[in-house]
Homo-oligomer: A and B are copies of this chain.
């Protein structure tokens, strides 16, 4: 197979792979009337607990106006708690509540299961290669 064809195939696999990867959590979220944004917020808050609004914005790479509505929604649903930092009364500390953790675990859980299944099927070498490629890709941005 010519090099160009292999690369074209890679584009396609990337597209379909990502689509398959994001579908299951989307379905769970839809049942609660939430969207992919909410998932990203829950995820990043969970992994960077506690995190300031500013830092969260930088991670998500969206405007504060875009973050505001869904974040407020998550706070009202008691999935995320918002406190104030001790060292600086301006910055907010976002963290997951118990039920927020639970939902986040459920969402990420389906993706982890999915990845576990394909990694197992593909083998440890393939898994290591996948990681290498993804890391290199993310770093170039």
Contacts and interface: CB of A to CB of B under 8 A. Distances in A.
Interface stretch (A76-84, A88-96, A127-135): A127-135
A20 B128 contact: no
A58 interface: no
Nearest to A20: B141
Contact of A133 (B12, B18, B130): B130
B8 A112 contact: yes
Interface residues of A, number: 50
A15 B111 CA distance: 12
A132 B127 CA distance: 9
A141 B18 CA distance: 10
A10 interface: yes
Q: Does more than half of chain A's interface fall in helix, strand or loop, or is it mixed?
A: helix
Given A121-B136, A129-B129, A16 B115 contact: no
A7 B134 contact: no
Interface in A7-61: 7-21, 23, 40, 43, 47, 61
A117 B140 contact: yes
Contact of A118 (B16, B111, B133): B133
24 contacts: A4-B112, A7-B111, A10-B130, A10-B131, A10-B134, A11-B43, A13-B134, A14-B21, A14-B134, A16-B137, A16-B138, A17-B137, A19-B61, A19-B138, A20-B137, A20-B138, A20-B140, A114-B137, A119-B133, A122-B133, A127-B129, A127-B133, A128-B129, A130-B132
